[in-house]
Amino acid sequence: MKYNRNGEEYSGVDNLVFAEKLEGSQQTVFSVLTYNNNLYDPLGADSNRESNLNLVLGKTNEDAFKSYMKYLKTNSRIYITKAQRSFLNG
């Protein structure tokens, strides 16, 4: 399942997929949008240059994925901080 900037299911109309959850028969793969090997902050300093940045979906763990999704839904900075720390720890 893919998610947009607001943490809602991606409809295909939006430009970017901000998070993705792929459920397989053996395991689940979580991915979030990254820029320079850090989580991309859609409300941060680079948000106005979004179309010019090299943004890629990077694999992450479940904790980072959940915190990033919570941030997309609530825009509360504590969740992107938690997601970033979990993302860096692996």
Q: According to the model, what pLDDT value does residue 50 have?
A: 86
- At 46 the pLDDT is 87
Give 19's pLDDT tier (boundaries 50, 70, 90).
Answer: very high
Domain ranges of the chain: 2-89
Lowest mean pLDDT among 10-14, 61-65, 80-84: 10-14
Q: Please tell me the distance from the alpha carbon of residue 63 to that of residue 54, in angstroms, as a whole number.
A: 24
* SS3 state at 90: coil
